[in-house]
Structure 1
Amino acid sequence: MEFSKNSVRRYDGTSSVARDPITGIKVPAVEDSSKITEDANAGKIIGINGGNLNYVRAGIAYDTRDYEPDPDRGWLIEYNINKAERTIGSDFNYIRHFAQAKNFYQPFPKLFEEFVIAQRVALTKIEGNVPFFEYRYLFSIDGPFGALGGQNTLRGYRQERFFGPVIGFYNLELRYRVGSFSVWDQFIQLSIVPFYDVGRVWDKLHDVNTLNYKHARGVGLRIIWDQATVILLDYAYSKEDQLFYVDMGHTF
């Protein structure tokens, strides 16, 4: 279960001091209506005043990964559900479904033991009385993460660049350990990881199709310290941007 109080601050109509670009004189400037206010007035979103968001979450998972921090083989298949409910004090009432499958596979275990193909596919749907700020939050057995864009979903696009009622994405990584060494009794492995990410959002589940997806690709380096600690360095590019990521742990 989770209980939270959410605050949304807007600056519509507030006055601040600006400098005239020609004369250099300080003049008062009044903030115009924000896009959030415009969308709320048009009936496109709710939740612009924040509020209490309380929900229960439950799920089921099938996990055969041989070593969770850096798996070589196995599956993780999971489904979870989030239900925000007025009966437990929430100002909003909605339900989110999330399902994903991860697979780790060594195609040539005898010839190339250090080569692993890692894949993930995920789909989520949210419906009901949903505040605008909640569309971007996803939850899995591995922890929370954001919607499409950023290091955890669609690298090469800005963090949470795309989100909506229905979100789907697919990730592919070719993980190849190129060497290992020891430093001060610490065992270090290095992996080169070319990757490809694709995904998009929809308004309804029946809108899901094979058109107009967003694509990103890149290459990364994994520094695996004593097997359990993974340091990630990724360079990714898309039609919109080129981004570099540094993080702890695999993307998935």
Structure 2
Amino acid sequence: MTMPDNSIKIGRCLVVVLSLSFFLGACTNMVPRKNLPYPLTNDTFDDQVKMVTIPLPVIASSPNEGVTLGALSAFLLHNSQDEVSTLMAPQINYNKNFGVTTILYGAFYPTPERQWRVNLAKATKINQEYRFRYSDREFLSDKFDLEGEAVAYTDGSARFFGFQSTAKKENETNYSDQELGGEASVGYRLFDKFKLIFGERAKKVDIKQGAIKGIPFITDKFTAESVPGINGFVVHAQKISAVYSTLDSDSLPTSGWQARASVETSWQALGSSADYQVYEAEFKYFYPFADAHYITVARLAGSQVSGDSAPFLEKSTLGGETTLRGYGRYRFIDNSYLLLNLEERIRLFRWRLFNVLSDWELAPFVDIGSVMSSLSNASPNSFQINVGIGFRAVVRPNIIGRVDVGVGNEGPAVFVGLGYPF
């Protein structure tokens, strides 16, 4: 499969614009720490704090949201070790479906083991997101991990096409996915590379009118009998995971592998709308060579949902910026999925500008995946294949900016975000 000329042009334009913005707009200032109160700074900062400001354009085009244009300014605050310990990024976007969206994103890394992130976003039409995440890899002692998230959001671009990998484009429907809830987990290291994780998750989901004109509302084509949860649902689930990892880093790995297996159970007796179980497995592998100028990365994942009454958004889904990057989120839904991601992360150059050291990467990738009613029903003919290329800027030890351009059978998709896709 070859990439259309339009996608190649989009990718080239993004790289040029991002590079020019970094060259022309970045500046460095020294700001008294007393003017940057906690949580912007902490005891790891000097009295004079180096702050690098980088203005950037926002250019994205995904199958669900459409074209989004805007601008942001990233403020990078450096601690006494000259590491980026705080990132603040106010942003303003325009999308014809949602109007003007104002966003404030913040990422805070007070220690190498602890981080928390906040995302506040409000659009003039339907969309909104208020999310807080916390992670501590040495909670109480180096044996324990703690992670938690609280979120309230509405996504007016959500799609449903029907179940199975053969769900057709002409069955496309739109709705607003409105969710309120949170989750928390505690991990315990039994020994150096192996840990058990115990998690709790609760949320309330409402299905409302969508924001995309010209696409039918989900209940115009589907019924509650054929699509469980179409009128909203509640989840209260408990999860246990086993993880074995030889990765050299939790946030930016370059070598090693990680295997994870988990079981999650939802109980009506504890407040869920339905009883069902979710079984998941994932294997990730990182192989560096040429002094890590090239890193081959692979992920193999699978999922099986047991229980016919499981809400449709709790089933196995593929599509979006972390799975099949040539398709929009929720493009494929069924009880099970199999997924293979392959990408080659190529360091083009290491660049120090305004005393900010960053690695600029090119990442050609291939994503292969399929959903099915049961893993035993997997068929080679049902798998979707998309190819693409990613552009990444990595500011160690913890900041990654990403643009991924994927092309599937339904055209190109451009995803812009933070962090590696996997």
- Structure 1 residue 84: deviation in Å? 0.5
Question: Aligned partner of 2:223: which letter?
Answer: A
Question: Aligned partner of 2:244: which letter?
Answer: Y
Inter-partner Cα distance in structure 2 for 1:84 and 1:131: 11
Give the alignment partner of residue 130 of structure 1, picking from 283, 296, 310: 310
Inter-partner Cα distance in structure 1 for 2:205 and 2:217: 19
Output one character per residue of 1:31-80: Cα deviation in whole Å (capped at 9) or x when no partner: xx955365336x32222332332111111111111123222211111011
Inter-partner Cα distance in structure 2 for 1:34 and 1:248: 31
Question: Aligned partner of 2:296: which letter?
Answer: I
Inter-partner Cα distance in structure 1 for 2:219 and 2:400: 39
Tell me, which stretches of 5 or more residues in structure 2 are unaligned? 1-199, 211-215
User: Is the counterpart of residue 46 in structure 1 residue 228 in structure 2?
Assistant: yes
8 Å contact kept, 2:337–2:375: no
User: Is the counterpart of residue 101 in structure 1 residue 300 in structure 2?
Assistant: no
Q: Secondary structure at 1:40's aligned position in 2?
A: coil
Q: Which residue of 1 aligns with 2:320?
A: 150
Inter-partner Cα distance in structure 2 for 1:113 and 1:3: 41
More strand by share: 2
Tell me, which stretches of 5 or more residues in structure 1 are unaligned? 12-32, 137-146
Q: Which residue of 1 aligns with 2:202?
A: 3
Inter-partner Cα distance in structure 1 for 2:397 and 2:404: 19
Matches within 5 A, 1:136-215: 147-215=317-385
Question: Aligned partner of 1:3: which letter?
Answer: A
Using the size of structure 1 for normalisation, the TM-score is 0.79
8 Å contact kept, 1:37–1:48: no
Q: Secondary structure at 2:330's aligned position in 1?
A: coil
Inter-partner Cα distance in structure 2 for 1:10 and 1:194: 37
Inter-partner Cα distance in structure 2 for 1:209 and 1:154: 17
Q: Which residue of 2 aligns with 1:36?
A: 219
Q: Secondary structure at 2:278's aligned position in 1?
A: strand
Question: Aligned partner of 1:206: which letter?
Answer: S
Inter-partner Cα distance in structure 2 for 1:90 and 1:235: 38
Q: Which residue of 2 aligns with 1:118?
A: 297
Query: Matched residue pairs, number?
Result: 217
- Structure 1 residue 91: deviation in Å? 2.2
Inter-partner Cα distance in structure 2 for 1:188 and 1:47: 45
Question: Aligned partner of 1:100: which letter?
Answer: E
Using the size of structure 2 for normalisation, the TM-score is 0.49
8 Å contact kept, 2:312–2:333: no
- Structure 1 residue 113: deviation in Å? 3.5
8 Å contact kept, 2:254–2:292: no
User: Is the counterpart of residue 233 in structure 1 residue 403 in structure 2?
Assistant: yes
Inter-partner Cα distance in structure 2 for 1:249 and 1:188: 14
Output one character per residue of 1:189-237: Cα deviation in whole Å (capped at 9) or x when no partner: 1111110001011012210232231110111111011332111111111
8 Å contact kept, 1:69–1:230: no
8 Å contact kept, 2:364–2:389: yes
Inter-partner Cα distance in structure 2 for 1:35 and 1:68: 39
Question: Aligned partner of 1:135: which letter?
Answer: K
**Which stretch has the larger CA shift, 44-53 or 112-121?**
44-53
Larger relative contact order (C-alpha < 8 A, sep ≥ 6)?
1
Inter-partner Cα distance in structure 2 for 1:222 and 1:48: 37
- Structure 1 residue 10: deviation in Å? 6.3
8 Å contact kept, 1:156–1:216: yes
Q: Secondary structure at 2:320's aligned position in 1?
A: coil
Question: Aligned partner of 1:186: which letter?
Answer: V
Question: Aligned partner of 1:199: which letter?
Answer: G
Question: Aligned partner of 1:165: which letter?
Answer: N
User: Is the counterpart of residue 91 in structure 1 residue 273 in structure 2?
Assistant: yes
8 Å contact kept, 1:69–1:229: no
Question: Aligned partner of 1:56: which letter?
Answer: Q
Question: Aligned partner of 2:340: which letter?
Answer: Y
8 Å contact kept, 1:75–1:101: yes
Matches within 5 A, 1:63-102: 63-102=245-284
8 Å contact kept, 1:181–1:188: yes
Inter-partner Cα distance in structure 1 for 2:240 and 2:381: 32
8 Å contact kept, 2:315–2:336: no
Give the root-mean-square deviation of aligned CA atoms.
Answer: 2.0
Inter-partner Cα distance in structure 1 for 2:348 and 2:281: 33
8 Å contact kept, 1:198–1:216: yes
8 Å contact kept, 1:186–1:226: no
8 Å contact kept, 2:394–2:401: yes
Inter-partner Cα distance in structure 1 for 2:419 and 2:326: 18
Q: Secondary structure at 1:155's aligned position in 2?
A: coil
